[in-house]
Amino acid sequence: MTQFQSEAEYFAAIDLGSNSFHMIIAKEGTHGNIIVIDRIKEMVRLNAALDAQGYLSLDGQKGAFLSFSL
């Protein structure tokens, strides 16, 4: 991942979907545009981890939480 000089100049966006988690790190450019600094995509496939009642299984929950440790 990229090293940052000042955290105040950057922001992140996180999208937690049922198949994948996405995160981007970006900053505002000099003309108000968004400059993407880094992006991460992790496949989690939460739909495949649903139990018979439609709840996310414990293994599915663990896998989702582990994807945050990238």
Domain boundaries defined on the chain: 7-67
**Cα dihedral value 26, 12, 2, 16, nearest 10:** -120
- Predicted local confidence at residue 21, as pLDDT: 93
pLDDT of residue 1: 56
Residue 56 makes CB contacts below 8 A (sequence gap 6+) with 46, 49, 50, 64
Q: Looking at residue 69, what is its pLDDT?
A: 76
* Residue 6 DSSP class: -
> Over its length of 70 residues, how does the chain's per-residue pLDDT go in tens digits?
556 555 458 899 999 998 999 999 999 888 888 999 999 999 999 989 999 999 999 999 998 888 877 6
CATH of 7-67, one of 3.40.50.970, 3.20.20.30, 3.30.2420.10, 3.30.420.40: 3.30.420.40
Contacts of 42 (CB under 8 A, 6+ apart): 20, 21, 22, 67, 70
